[in-house]
Structure 1
Amino acid sequence: MNKHAAPDIKAARIKGGVATGQRHDSAHKHVTGTAIYIDDMPEPEGLLHGCLGLSTVAHGRITRLDLSEVRKAPGVVDVLTAKDIPGENDISPTGRHDEPVLADGLCEFHGQPIFCVIATTREAARRATRLARVDYEELPFIVDVAGVNPKKGKLVTPPLTLSRGDAKAAIRNAPKRLKGRMALGGQDHFYLEGQIALAVPGEDHDVTVYSSTQHPSEVQHMVAHALGVPNHAVTVEIRRMGGGFGGKETQGNQFAALAAIAAKKHGRAVKIRPDRDDDMIATGKRHDFVIDYEVGFDEDGSIHGVDFMFAARCGFSSDLSGPVTDRALFHCDNTYFWPAVHAKSAPLYTNTVSNTAFRGFGGPQGMVGAERVIEEVAFATGKDPLEIRKLNFYGVDDRNVTPYHQTVEDNIIGRIVAELEESADYARRRRTIAAFNANSRFVKRGIALTPVKFGISFTATHFNQAGALVHVYTDGSVHLNHGGTEMGQGLYLKVAQVVAEEFQIDLDQVKITATTTGKVPNTSATAASSGSDLNGMAAQNAARQIKDRLTDFAAQTYQVPRDQVVFLPNRVRVGNQEIAFADIVKQAYMARIQLSAAGFYKTPKIHWNRDKGAGRPFYYFAYGAACSEVSIDTLTGEYVVERADILHDAGRSLNRAIDLGQVEGGYIQGMGWLTTEELWWDDKGRLRTHAPSTYKIPLASDRPKIFNVRLADWPEAAEPTVHRSKAVGEPPFPLAISVLHALSDAVASVAGHTICPRLDAPATPERVLMAVERLKAEAARG
């Protein structure tokens, strides 16, 4: 026991607590290749491999399925079809029972899994799938929603309507009115690590599944349903993913279920890892939308009313299309107050793979619709779009209620935009760009500053809960487990920092362990930007339970008031003496004090009535703004992002280094969605952009030449979030909308900014060139 005068509490600091810029816990492993992903795990003796056999028609009934040659192929052990599923042939995440593990007689998109080959090697399984003979009665199919009447098309899930005021009357009575349509493309997740599952059979009904998933509990439930066993028989574990972005929230269910079925059937471990082509063809993507809008406004550009229809290509089943299209509507206001608004979703059935969660979860699509309306009003009034944006920002009193009737109480967008406008030197640069364009015949420049307001919480209220498990061992080291998953975003590190801060111990004393359903049950997906909020609070709750027990023990043992027990860096002050943290823990153990706790957290205040279209679906909002400058070649449509300036609100950041990386990465990924990442289906319903050779994600060379990114250093969450931080996974993604509008601004310069370019996304060089030629032609006609 060390006895000495108590030092100033602020004189020492733990290594790696919250609000410090710690490197990602696995960064050194990522760059050296020592990070263990599922495909790096030692393979169990007798491991089998699976490969999916995919449909070759967009819509059709199977009239013959001859797998005899497949079964006779070298190395083949088994071929699974729908009839081999012992439990329920369904992996629908919303319980609508519309998504089979394997197609049973009816194929509804090109690339739908029909059978699964199980073989001794991955190559043998892949080769054998090509030997199947499948005949179809082909049926009519729908791939694109552009020509579908959203009021009459087949829906995969009930639509949502948000309404406040009389939008039709407000538009009708406004001094000015306009309407338009925008096509907004989807996006492939293009994670570095593809989908993968490894199932290891146990005794009785037990099976352990290593799945690259953002939602271990859902995989557990789906595997149990497919096997026809209780949830407790299935354990799902994941240490890390090589990227997820929403693509591993539901899409891993199929691979895990099939691996588990084969593993239990044959009593051998089974791994399924599709190649990139099959992965892209058979798994869902970001929803593409056709957005119809009508707006009424006045000569100043003040908007009186808006009416939106968001028609989405959802695919053949519901998957998460309901909540995704709901969230698009939740964000059709972005940072703007619509005095009267009517917005409706149309989650349309198509004969394509079912689209799914993707970073932003529909929110960015809603924001793009809002920003198109702002741009249209700016061109109609002859004003700078930024002026129209600021004029229509949310305010106070009667200008702070959203279309879903939630009051915006934490609005800081005015200050965010004002600071960025000044730091990015927006006004001067706009004048400089105008002068440049006047003297440049072929290369034109454009600039745009766009804001972001992103709602934080799952809109399905019951998902806003989390659990954690914390053990303190007798040497003072700490074991941490929670329901969040690590996909490169630094969640494990942030939650470990929270626990280290609570106990006031160095970060290297906290062991981060793999997420497993066997330790923390019934968890929510790591999605909706809620990973740190939910799991950080749950872990803090567990740590505080143990800390309270230690405090009570110390106060009682040393006969001091409870408030004289203070946790200092790696030690505890008890009255006028200090004891090493490990020593007080050992003493507590000897006194039979429990040193383990299960923590829990549920987000307060939120509620949502979907039937009424009203409630408080979001706990708080995260804000940001981006100013992007581009140059385009009007002869080819090619372009360069010259500069980007970003100011983003992360509250009191838990880890500024991690959060800055999330902002930078979100912007670049969003830029890819809106510029180069084009999904294209041919006239037979086949996805032709299913490999890096045809699908273009941004390269390092595509980043802005000048890239200035800052976190606002003054805000904090208005609500008592974990250390007053804010979510920073999804909110930065729509900052890239500024790139689309900068391109639009550059295109508009060829007609003197008199015509709204109505640039659809992705704004590929071809689309930019076509827009340039269209505006030139319209300007020439007068």
Structure 2
Amino acid sequence: MDETRIQDRGPAGEPTIAELHEGAPGDKRPIRGGVRQRHAHDSGFKHVTGSARYTDDEPDLPGTLQVYLAPSERAHARIRAMDLSAVRAAPGVVLVLTAEDIPGQNDYSPVFGDDPIFAEGHVFFVGQPLFAVAAETIDAARRAARLAKIDYEDLPAAIGFDAALNFADEVGKDLLPPHTMRLGDVDAALETASRTVSGRIEVGGQDHFYLEGQIAVAHPLEDGDVFVRSSTQHPSEVQHNVAKMLGVPDHAVTVELRRMGGGFGGKESQPALFAAAAALVAVKTGRPAKCRLDRDDDMIMTGKRHEVRIDYRAGFDAAGRLQGVAFDQFVRCGYSSDLSAAIADRAMFHADNAYDLKAACIHSRRLQTHTVSNTAFRGFGGPQGMVGIERLMDRIAFETGLDPLDVRKANLYAGIGGEPGVTPYGMKVEDSVAGEIIEVLEVSSDYRARREAVKAFNVRSPILKKGLALTPVKFGISFTTSHLNQAGALVHVYKDGSVHLNHGGTEMGQGLFVKVAQVVAEEFQIDIDKVKITATTTAKVPNTSATAASSGSDLNGMAAQAAARTIKTRLIDYAAERYHVPKDQIVFEANRVRIGNEEKRFSDLVGEAYLARVSLSSTGFYATPDIHYDRESASGKPFYYFAYGAACSEVVIDTLTGEYKLTRVDILHDVGKSLNPAIDLGQIEGGFIQGFGWLTMEELWWDDKGRLKTHAPSTYKIPTANDRPDDMRIAIWDKGENRAETIYRSKAVGEPPFMLAISAFSALTDAVIAAGEGRAFPHLDAPATPERVLRAVEEVRARS
């Protein structure tokens, strides 16, 4: 049987996999699906066959109402009047709800209380929900909503960076207070530096473009309680916000989901809006309710990656070593706070990337715009911060005439055993392996020879120009909001030896569930087929954190391990007493337990323990140790450890059209001791491709009235299979091992690979420089669309 295929039962008459792998005493076969094994995603077979059940695949209960959220048509306006009488009278309409109908708080925000479910008095972006229509069909709800008569008084709207800065001057403040991190005396370093440079880069936003859009289904229960199925990365937050909206305790709301069709951060804070609307309809009518967005509405109504403008000033020497750098980061937050404070902080935390800055000042302003509130996205601000320093590295290389890789290597934090560097927020970097990874990748990618080949190609090719770049990644792992670094799990062992696993993490395709199941299988030394993965629900594990910040396996894996070890200890205690054997002579092996000189099947020992009234169920809990951050002093240790990697990208551009092709990528990434190399390799590849899309083709564009014009696949381009390079070489660093005490010494892999794609952006810069015969450094913002690449080519040629 193919070891990568997951199958519950063979043809009629054949035993189950669990039965085949139960094992017999004396059988020394290792367990199937323990940690560090390549094991298929638990839903992989279901994904490709279409049998995986998502929220919208669950059959609607009889009488289910369809909910439509009517959007604002103005970016910034006062609502003078809103006549909904015709909406209420429309065919098929059962209920129309506004802010006045909310029994609790009209808010679904994650932190600051500034995200109304329905607009009250003012609207602040095109697409902001005004009211909800619940009807027998979604078509009836949409038709009815168009009958509303809204009287707006338009107000000035700030859309882009310059308008946002002007708006901040007019109102006398930014959306959120600014923040500054300092290391050393930057002014002195810049003044004494032998060479200085300054510049600016703007980095665009990005739509999450998950395959499954936002959706929530609510079922009314007795006593005013409600059950919600929500496609969310943060069930506990949805639970809390729905309860807050209804004016009931959290225990009156249960939120559940089995899987999402993608999340990437877009289902962290955003789903609470749609769950709240569905729950309100369900409670008001006593009927089930579904709120499901189509693609256009989803893109218009939900937050994006934050756009960032970065101004830099840097001093360096002839060898390209930085002596001091100042970054001014301007972050477009949208109309409300959402998670922008932590996201903007993370952009600051990663402004150094893998480089020892010596003297640095990083200043961040968080600007309000009259656009949808930007939110979490893979990397959580870190990618934007890294683009700034990598742009600076390319600029320094251009100014000194050095190879960009040599400039990068000259500025890296010292490796393990060297003198630790200190980040701009005062954390020592003691685990850096960036230098080692770069050295290995430099050889394996044949960087030096290819650099010479690229130069030779560019000399003889007047139209097509190639570029090559190798860039590192250092990414901090932990929620920078310290209290979020906790997780719970629930493990049941049934009397037949099968195991039920539940934890607070959510599965969005990244393979978290199978990794945690592997941890439990490893602890009990049983085949993974004996571990049942169950839906995430607030009814089993309470007060969970979002599955975000690359922490899913770290947190939930440790919590599940703790629960399994509690049960395992009880089994050992029972066996020691029952068989009069010292505890250290009781060893769990493949699907069996050795008790002194005797062996038993795992299931047999469990059955005995049940008859002896031993508890076979346990919760587990984990809190990340030794992390803290003091905002007043802008210092601390916000990360438990760093993940590292490097990528080498080669591109070719057409200087007549600006079109380009990513032709080859070499990646070497550190995942510590991988829990599942197959899953990790998939995350590395997917992260790179998504990052490549962000930096090169995924362009968000609003018109001057604040209307998002790129709101569908016809106008918003994401990477396809054709954009993946034909030559893509990905490897996990075989020397990787986490020095921090994480689950089996693994490292997070969800977000760090995303930033490997900065190498492709730097390679495009390199190719544009070649188009100008090396005489000018280009102005090239992200996304580097063909139009922007063409403008950059024309500019460097004009300046040459």
The two structures have a TM-score, normalised by structure 2, of 0.95
- 1:412 corresponds in structure 2 to 433
1:422 equivalenced with 2:443 (yes/no): yes
- 2:385 corresponds in structure 1 to 366
1:479 equivalenced with 2:504 (yes/no): no
- 2:62 corresponds in structure 1 to 45
* Superposed CA RMSD: 1.3
Query: Which of 134, 140, 159 matches 2:150?
Result: 134
Determine helix, strand or coil for the equivalent of 2:248.
coil
1:30 equivalenced with 2:62 (yes/no): no
- 1:15 corresponds in structure 2 to 32
Is the CA contact (8 Å cut-off) linking 2:24 and 2:592 kept in structure 1? no
Determine helix, strand or coil for the equivalent of 2:712.
coil
1:718 equivalenced with 2:734 (yes/no): no
1:270 equivalenced with 2:289 (yes/no): yes
- 1:246 corresponds in structure 2 to 265
Residue identity opposite 2:799 in structure 1 = E
- 2:404 corresponds in structure 1 to 385
Q: Deviations over 1:204-247 (max 9, x none)?
A: 12100000000000000000000000000000001000000000
Query: Which of 115, 123, 127 matches 1:99?
Result: 115
- 2:353 corresponds in structure 1 to 334
Measured after TM superposition, the shift of residue 132 of structure 1 is 1.4
- 2:16 corresponds in structure 1 to none
Is the CA contact (8 Å cut-off) linking 2:24 and 2:601 kept in structure 1? no
1:517 equivalenced with 2:534 (yes/no): no
Tell me, in whole angstroms, the C-alpha distance in 2 between the residues paired with 1:197 and 1:6: 49
Residue identity opposite 2:383 in structure 1 = P
Measured after TM superposition, the shift of residue 7 of structure 1 is 5.7
Tell me, in whole angstroms, the C-alpha distance in 2 between the residues paired with 1:366 and 1:107: 31
- 1:613 corresponds in structure 2 to 634
Query: Which of 668, 673, 686 matches 1:665?
Result: 686
Query: Which of 90, 94, 104 matches 1:77?
Result: 94
Write the mapping of 1:488-637 to structure 2, written as runs, cut at 5 A: 488-637=509-658
Tell me, in whole angstroms, the C-alpha distance in 1 between the residues paired with 2:504 and 2:617: 17
Query: Which of 145, 160, 163 matches 2:179?
Result: 160
Moved more, 398-407 or 663-672: 398-407
**Structure 1: 4+ residue segments shifted above 6 A:** none
Is the CA contact (8 Å cut-off) linking 1:382 and 1:754 kept in structure 2? no
Residue identity opposite 1:113 in structure 2 = P
Determine helix, strand or coil for the equivalent of 1:291.
strand
Residue identity opposite 2:345 in structure 1 = D
Cα distance change, pair 190–706 in 1 and its aligned pair in 2 (3 A): same
Is the CA contact (8 Å cut-off) linking 1:5 and 1:576 kept in structure 2? no
Tell me, in whole angstroms, the C-alpha distance in 2 between the residues paired with 1:719 and 1:198: 41
Is the CA contact (8 Å cut-off) linking 2:107 and 2:114 kept in structure 1? yes
Residue identity opposite 1:315 in structure 2 = G
Determine helix, strand or coil for the equivalent of 2:75.
coil
Measured after TM superposition, the shift of residue 588 of structure 1 is 0.5
Determine helix, strand or coil for the equivalent of 2:428.
coil
Residue identity opposite 1:389 in structure 2 = R
Residue identity opposite 2:210 in structure 1 = Y
Is the CA contact (8 Å cut-off) linking 1:297 and 1:304 kept in structure 2? yes
Tell me, in whole angstroms, the C-alpha distance in 2 between the residues paired with 1:645 and 1:5: 45
Determine helix, strand or coil for the equivalent of 1:50.
strand
Determine helix, strand or coil for the equivalent of 1:632.
strand
Residue identity opposite 1:297 in structure 2 = F
Q: How high is the sequence identity, in percent, across the aligned residues?
A: 63
Determine helix, strand or coil for the equivalent of 1:104.
coil
Tell me, in whole angstroms, the C-alpha distance in 2 between the residues paired with 1:63 and 1:207: 34
Tell me, in whole angstroms, the C-alpha distance in 2 between the residues paired with 1:437 and 1:182: 26
Determine helix, strand or coil for the equivalent of 1:160.
strand
Measured after TM superposition, the shift of residue 12 of structure 1 is 2.4
- 1:323 corresponds in structure 2 to 342
Measured after TM superposition, the shift of residue 157 of structure 1 is 2.1
Query: Which of 56, 76, 81 matches 1:64?
Result: 81
Tell me, in whole angstroms, the C-alpha distance in 1 between the residues paired with 2:467 and 2:306: 28
Moved more, 231-240 or 66-75: 66-75
1:376 equivalenced with 2:395 (yes/no): yes
Q: Deviations over 1:350-378 (max 9, x none)?
A: 10000000000000001001101111111
Write the mapping of 1:628-777 to structure 2, written as runs, cut at 5 A: 628-777=649-798
Write the mapping of 1:198-237 to structure 2, written as runs, cut at 5 A: 198-237=217-256
Q: Deviations over 1:680-699 (max 9, x none)?
A: 00011111000000000011
Tell me, in whole angstroms, the C-alpha distance in 1 between the residues paired with 2:89 and 2:319: 75
Measured after TM superposition, the shift of residue 156 of structure 1 is 2.2
Measured after TM superposition, the shift of residue 5 of structure 1 is 12
Cα distance change, pair 281–125 in 1 and its aligned pair in 2 (3 A): same
Tell me, in whole angstroms, the C-alpha distance in 2 between the residues paired with 1:655 and 1:408: 27
Tell me, in whole angstroms, the C-alpha distance in 2 between the residues paired with 1:527 and 1:677: 22
Measured after TM superposition, the shift of residue 639 of structure 1 is 0.4
1:114 equivalenced with 2:114 (yes/no): no
Is the CA contact (8 Å cut-off) linking 2:549 and 2:751 kept in structure 1? yes
Measured after TM superposition, the shift of residue 145 of structure 1 is 1.2
Residue identity opposite 1:158 in structure 2 = P
1:87 equivalenced with 2:87 (yes/no): no
1:440 equivalenced with 2:484 (yes/no): no
Cα distance change, pair 655–455 in 1 and its aligned pair in 2 (3 A): same
Determine helix, strand or coil for the equivalent of 1:641.
strand
Determine helix, strand or coil for the equivalent of 1:767.
helix
Determine helix, strand or coil for the equivalent of 1:761.
coil
1:256 equivalenced with 2:275 (yes/no): yes
Determine helix, strand or coil for the equivalent of 2:78.
strand
- 2:20 corresponds in structure 1 to none
Determine helix, strand or coil for the equivalent of 1:697.
coil
1:193 equivalenced with 2:209 (yes/no): no
Tell me, in whole angstroms, the C-alpha distance in 2 between the residues paired with 1:112 and 1:719: 44
Measured after TM superposition, the shift of residue 129 of structure 1 is 1.6
Is the CA contact (8 Å cut-off) linking 1:337 and 1:399 kept in structure 2? no
Is the CA contact (8 Å cut-off) linking 1:5 and 1:577 kept in structure 2? no
Tell me, in whole angstroms, the C-alpha distance in 1 between the residues paired with 2:151 and 2:190: 54
Is the CA contact (8 Å cut-off) linking 1:159 and 1:322 kept in structure 2? no
Q: Deviations over 1:530-550 (max 9, x none)?
A: 000000000000000000000
Q: Deviations over 1:367-397 (max 9, x none)?
A: 0011011111111111111110000000166
Measured after TM superposition, the shift of residue 619 of structure 1 is 0.2
Tell me, in whole angstroms, the C-alpha distance in 1 between the residues paired with 2:26 and 2:233: 45
Is the CA contact (8 Å cut-off) linking 2:219 and 2:279 kept in structure 1? yes
Q: How many residues align?
A: 773
Tell me, in whole angstroms, the C-alpha distance in 1 between the residues paired with 2:632 and 2:709: 39
The two structures have a TM-score, normalised by structure 1, of 0.98
Cα distance change, pair 473–443 in 1 and its aligned pair in 2 (3 A): same
Cα distance change, pair 63–128 in 1 and its aligned pair in 2 (3 A): same
Measured after TM superposition, the shift of residue 617 of structure 1 is 0.3
Measured after TM superposition, the shift of residue 616 of structure 1 is 0.4
Tell me, in whole angstroms, the C-alpha distance in 1 between the residues paired with 2:784 and 2:530: 49
- 2:201 corresponds in structure 1 to 182
